[in-house]
Amino acid sequence: MISPAVSSASSINMSVHWARVKRPGTISSCDGGGVTRTDDLFRLRRGGNLVAKKREQSFTLFS
């Protein structure tokens, strides 16, 4: 199920993108940044800035 925050993110701020990591260290979708070592959902801004994450885990951002 997609949460309202995810489905409406693009309409609120076009510079906000979501990346879901299939397995630790694997990025399935992102724009301007990257995430590793997590299996949760991240919200990214262009340039790879971390906006929010659902739970505390190791992560790496790069642009």
Domains of the chain, by residue range, sit at 4-53
* pLDDT tens digits, 16-62: 445 554 445 444 455 455 544 444 455 555 555 555 455 444 455 55
* CB atoms inside a 10 Å sphere around CB 36: 15
Structure tokens at 7: 């489905």
- Residue 39: the pLDDT is 40
- Residue 61: the pLDDT is 55
pTM over 0.85: no
- Residue 40: the pLDDT is 46
**In the predicted structure, residue 1 carries a pLDDT above the cut 50:** no
